[in-house]
Amino acid sequence: MDTTMSQLQSPDDFSKDSFNPGFDPRQQEVSANLRASHQSLSTALADAETVALHMMQLQEVTAALSKARTEDEVADIVLRMGLGVVAGVAGVLARVDGESFQRIAAVGFAPELQERVLAMTRADECPLISVAKSGEQLWLRSRDEHVNSFGLVYERLGIPAPEASAAVPLFHGSEIVGVLSVIFENASAFGAVKQAFTLLLAQVAADALARARSYDVERGARRGAESIAQARADVLAIVAHDLRNPLSVISSSSALLLEMDELPIGQRRKLLETTQRAARRMNRLIGDLLDATRLQAGRLTLELRDVDACKIIRESEETLGPSAAERHIDLRVFAPDSDCWVRADEGRLLQVIGNLVGNALKFTTEGGRVTLSAERRECEVVFNVSDNGPGIPAEDQSRLFESFWQARSGDSRGVGLGLSITKDLVSALEGRLWVDSVVGSGSTFAFALPSAQATQH
């Protein structure tokens, strides 16, 4: 038995040196088959080890994604860890929400190029957009295929087309929630195993992206509720604090008037004027708070009709002129030369102008100038309120229209609601509001509303 076994040869022993011209040809064929089988087994073993490695990597990616709470976290894990699963050299992850399309993150690109890639819009015809629209996988196996299909985008970005890439839709149920694009060094990555892992990566990415979106929605709802609660607390704080001052003035003035029967007429008039100013301040404050509450709840009612802008400008001059004169500020008004009609709620339009002019008067020093004007520009009527006051620093301009925000901490001239309400009113009137200001050169607040057809009047 031992002698027989020792005479047997392993497949590796069937080398060229083992044969002689007289050896049986059939044994040569058996030897070749054994060598081929051995090579196939070695290749299969290597492939199995590669598959096992990629499967372990994919499990790690899946575990990491299960803890991701935001879309940014999902993108970081998919592109930082997931590309290793499919041997990608670069990648982009984008979110899709109906017609909305946004690139979340990109890796593997030079910084300048990455910025350009992330800045691309839905109008740029590229693999990501194509897949987002069609919902079909896109595998491009050569540079020529890239150039033939998307040559313009590579030319615009100023980069050579990649050798090979895949763009895969991320489906959650029947809904596309995103697109994953992976760039490879060459088309060898398009083997059945690599393609399978690319699709598996896309699936786990889709599930994680959908979870993150739900989490973001819930978190947004919580933040919205918290913001509303905080806004209500702010309103209560404003009511408690800022109404106290005019109430105190009214109370003390009334007490003096009641206690001092023989008060001279001049002093009596002065106390009554002080009381009236305090009452007007209370009314303005209460009106602002009510408007802010209605706007926040979406309950503001508007009566839209065609309004004569010339008439509005003149009425504003009559209403605001006394306040300007009291502050020794020159209020200049320029009404349109010809018929100029705007589609608006007349009362709310007067309120917007009053808020902007009042704000300009508030921050313009004695002897200064405030200008109110209106003009028709194509399909809009533009109203301008300019002053030669101190101007607004650039870093403060973005916050001007926030509720309860004031550039000067502790400023007692307002509660920070006027500009916020003005912005919301202009938006409700389907208009737009903006500001131009330079420190030391004054400010211009402008808003545009849809114009009405002059022929109707």
SS3 per-residue string spanning the chain:
CHHHHHCCCCHHHCCHHHCCCCCCHHHHHHHHHHHHHHHHHHHHHHHHHHHHHHHHHHHHHHHHHHCCCCHHHHHHHHHHHHHHHHCCCEEEEEEEECCEEEEEEEECCCHHHHHHHHHCCCCCCCHHHHHHHHCCCEEECCHHHHHHHHHHHHHHHCCCCCCEEEEEEEEECCEEEEEEEEEECCHHHHCHHHHHHHHHHHHHHHHHHHHHHHHHHHHHHHHHHHHHHHHHHHHHHHHHHHCHHHHHHHHHHHHHHHHCCCCCHHHHHHHHHHHHHHHHHHHHHHHHHHHHHHHHHCCCCCCCEEEEHHHHHHHHHHHHHHHHHHCCCEEEEECCCCCCEEEECHHHHHHHHHHHHHHHHHHCCCCCEEEEEEEEECCEEEEEEEECCCCCCHHHHCCCCCCCCCCCCCCCCCCCCHHHHHHHHHHHCCCEEEEEEECCCEEEEEEEEEECCHHHC
Task: Provide the pLDDT for residue 298.
Answer: 65
Q: What is the pLDDT of residue 434?
A: 93
Q: Are residues 328 and 409 in the same domain?
A: yes
Residue 266 inside a domain? The answer is: yes
Query: Is the per-residue pLDDT at 371 higher than 70?
Result: yes
pLDDT for res 28? 61
Residue 5 has pLDDT above 50, yes or no: no
Q: What percent of the chain has pLDDT over 70?
A: 74
Question: In terms of domains, do 344 and 421 share one?
Answer: yes
> Does residue 237 form part of some domain?
no
Q: What is the CATH number of the domain that holds 90?
A: 3.30.450.40
Q: In the prediction, which pLDDT does 265 show?
A: 83
Whether residue 359 sits in one domain with residue 290: no
Is the Cβ–Cβ distance between 76 and 91 less than 8 Å?
Answer: no
Instruction: Identify whether residues 322 and 373 lie together within a single domain.
Output: yes
Residue 75 has pLDDT above 70, yes or no: yes
Alpha-carbon distances of 245 from 248, 249, 258, 261, 281, rounded to whole Å: 5, 6, 20, 25, 10
Per-residue confidence band for 239, with pLDDT thresholds at 50, 70 and 90? low
The C-alpha angle 359, 313, 429, rounded to 5 degrees, equals 75
The whole-number pLDDT of residue 44 equals 58
pLDDT in tens, 19-68: 455 455 666 665 666 565 556 656 556 556 666 776 788 888 888 888 88
| 77 and 214 inside one domain | yes
Judge whether 152 lies within some domain: yes
Give residue 444's domain range: 305-456
Does 23 share its domain with 96? no
So what's the pLDDT on residue 217?
65
Q: Residue 408: pLDDT above 90?
A: no
Same domain, 105 and 208: yes
Task: Give domain status of residue 226, yes or no.
Answer: no
Question: Do 293 and 318 belong together in one domain?
Answer: no
**Number of domains making up the chain:** 4
pLDDT, average across residues 383-401 = 87
| One domain, residues 406 and 445 | yes
Is residue 224 assigned to a domain? no
Let me know if residue 167 belongs to a domain: yes
Q: Note whether 28 and 139 are same-domain residues.
A: no
Of these ranges, 81-85, 95-99, 409-413, the one predicted with the greatest mean pLDDT is 81-85
Per-residue confidence (pLDDT) for residue 145, from 0 to 100: 92
Q: In this model, does residue 453 exceed pLDDT 70?
A: no
pLDDT number for residue 183: 92
**What pLDDT, on the 0 to 100 scale, is given for residue 226?**
65
pLDDT bucket at 125, cuts 50 / 70 / 90: confident
Same domain for 204 and 283, yes or no, is no
Together in a domain, 37 and 113: no
pLDDT tens digits along 131-169: 998 999 999 999 999 999 998 888 877 778 889 999 999
Would you say residue 9 has pLDDT above 50?
Answer: no
- The more confidently predicted of residues 439 and 214 is 439
